[in-house]
Structure 1
Amino acid sequence: MAISPDWKSSNRTIQILKAAEKGKYGVVAAIAYNLEQVFGLIRAAEAARSPLIIQFFPWAITFWDGLIVRAAAGAASRASVPIAIHLDHAQDEAVIRQAADTLPFDSIMVDMSHYDKADNLAKTARLVRYCNERGIATEAEPGRIEGAEDGVVDTAGLEASKTTPEEVDEFIATGVDSLAPAFGNMHGEFGGTDQLDFKRSIRRQIGKRVTIALHGTNGYPPDLMRKCIAAGAAKININRLVLDDYYSHLQSQVGKVPHTTLIEQGVEKVVNQTKEWMDICMSSGKA
């Protein structure tokens, strides 16, 4: 099927993030691992009247065979607020092509940051074109964000590197729609405010050419999250911040209440915690 030359004007991820950038708020881009979490995220977005990006790691393709992605996309299409479906930290070229060819993703993070810069740029440019030809928006990581989490290649042996202005220009030239800069943020546990380099002129360097994605937010306090949004972050990648209560409830109540009750209560935990972060990110009421 031929893709319209102006496909970006209707791409959900691009439109959600452009509105966030213009409105100076952040959009929760939350990882989901099961249908309870997908349902809870969507219910939270509708209750808060907030846009939302539901993210999946490549595991959702390799283990679920895409089933959960299709279910989430179907639910998102029926929602009363704008919701996009995103593949996060896709680091395998074959998986990226499979996702672009067979699954209803609005956007894909082409994460080649585990390669040296030259290979990263070349592979990113090639895969960005592949995704764009199918109407899919893209994100990339200039520099290298330290640490590891589910779905991300273990980079413990690789040196973290902060994004430079030169890298910003080089990655924008690949055609990506969003950049996830490295400025001392890290995957996994939050290392403290002191490690974040807000003096870097990444926002000024990027201008309005692409939107900024914030990675590595586990443990961020609300004031720091808002500081990052004020600095230009529009896509706010979130994992544990909206799932901690869900897992605490699961661990404490499994075997003590009926399974259906456990599911229903778990969904409510996701709803409540997600709404809190939508308020913090100032996206509530923006849909």
Structure 2
Amino acid sequence: MATNGIAKKLKANRAKAIVDAAYAGKYMIAGVCCYNLEGIIATVRAAEAKKSPALIQLFPWSIEYADGLLLHAAAEAADKASVPIGVHMDHAQSPDIIRKSVELGGYDGIMVDMSHYEKEENMRLSKELVELCNAKGIITECEPGRINGFEDGIADTEGMEEILTTPEQAEEFVALGIDWLAPAFGNVHGAYGPKGPQLDFPRLERIHAAVGDRVRLVLHGAHEDYFQEQLLRKCIAAGMSKVNINGPVNAAYTRVGAELTGKVPLTTVVEEQTKAMQQVIEQNMDWIMSTGKAA
């Protein structure tokens, strides 16, 4: 496809439009990590209740577990929503799963995460896979450097060296044609150590100054013990436009399941789990100031 044809398809991409609007409006979009249909429904209901744009995010596990079923449910839910919602794959860490996901259709964006490879291989694979996605009108996200830690759905990088992102690395990834960049500035996946987050905001501000006019910066590692209203808004002020929300949403699901299973009908358990997840998502939308932005 001609370069101008690809550019036209990417310009019409709804995930790109949602996050670009957040950057312009100085708020963030919640990328809600969903593992089941309840998570998808809770995300859409929260977005509609708060009149907020949102992203439904799936991990590669959803493809391995259910082929395209969960993906296509997410895409249909996004299509039918009364507010702008996109579907994004988070942390796609295998070239094969990215190729399969592109073929399945339904994704607006895919995170091409080759950060567990050494730099030369990371860049080679990222370039190839970004071009593949872009040709289909799918926007891409990459992670310059390496964010440490472990989160359900992501390959464990706890034993690997953390590599903080530099403005120079950010430039190299922007040159690949990506739309979103996930910088490593002291953030980690999963739980933080006893000192809590040790975030290098001057580094983040330098990255934003270098590439923020061309790509959107996105936040990973926003553990719920620390990343609430104050810290999330500090990240917005530093130029970030999307935050991944995982742990607290899915903890609400498991908590309600443990409390109610065997005591009420299964349909009631499912409905209450969905409501609990929705409440967490709505609270985060207030914190990141996306509430009302789809009105």
Identify whether the pair has TM-score above 0.5, normalized to the shorter chain. Answer: yes
Give the equivalent residue in structure 2 for 1:257.
264
Q: How does 1:188-267 map to 2 (within 5 A)?
A: 188-191=190-193, 192=195, 195-200=198-203, 201-219=206-224, 220-267=227-274
- TM-score relative to the length of structure 2: 0.94
TM-superposed CA distance for 1:4, in Å, is 5.2
TM-superposed CA distance for 1:234, in Å, is 0.4
Once the two structures are overlaid, the 10-residue window that deviates more, 97-106 or 151-160, is: 151-160
Q: Does residue 1:270 correspond to 2:277, yes or no?
A: yes
Aligned with 2:118 (options 97, 116, 119): 116
Letter in 1 for 2:280: Q
TM-superposed CA distance for 1:253, in Å, is 1.2
Letter in 2 for 1:212: L
Deviations 1:13-41 (A, max 9, x none): 11001000000000000100110111011
Name the CA distance, whole Å, in 1 between partners of 2:145 and 2:127.
Answer: 15
Q: How does 1:89-238 map to 2 (within 5 A)?
A: 89-191=91-193, 192=195, 195-200=198-203, 201-219=206-224, 220-238=227-245
Q: Does residue 1:56 correspond to 2:61, yes or no?
A: no
SS in 1 for 2:202: coil
Once the two structures are overlaid, the 10-residue window that deviates more, 53-62 or 214-223, is: 214-223
- TM-score relative to the length of structure 1: 0.97
Name the CA distance, whole Å, in 1 between partners of 2:240 and 2:17.
Answer: 15
Name the CA distance, whole Å, in 1 between partners of 2:112 and 2:132.
Answer: 11
Letter in 2 for 1:241: P
- Which runs of at least 4 in structure 1 moved beyond 6 Å after TM superposition? none
TM-superposed CA distance for 1:207, in Å, is 2.5
TM-superposed CA distance for 1:193, in Å, is 5.1
TM-superposed CA distance for 1:56, in Å, is 0.4
Q: Does residue 1:75 correspond to 2:64, yes or no?
A: no
Deviations 1:201-257 (A, max 9, x none): 111111311001100112223211111111111011110132322221111111111
Aligned residues: 287
Once the two structures are overlaid, the 10-residue window that deviates more, 133-142 or 198-207, is: 198-207
Name the CA distance, whole Å, in 2 between partners of 1:235 and 1:172.
Answer: 17
Letter in 2 for 1:242: V
Deviations 1:54-95 (A, max 9, x none): 100000101111201101100110100000000110011011
8 Å contact from structure 1 (residues 242, 277) kept in 2: no
SS in 2 for 1:88: strand
Name the CA distance, whole Å, in 2 between partners of 1:162 and 1:101.
Answer: 33
TM-superposed CA distance for 1:102, in Å, is 1.3
Aligned-residue Cα RMSD (Å) equals: 1.4
Over 3 Å counting, the alpha-carbon distance change for 1:4 and 1:122 in structure 2 is: closer
Name the CA distance, whole Å, in 1 between partners of 2:248 and 2:201.
Answer: 22
SS in 1 for 2:267: helix
Letter in 2 for 1:132: N
TM-superposed CA distance for 1:194, in Å, is 5.1
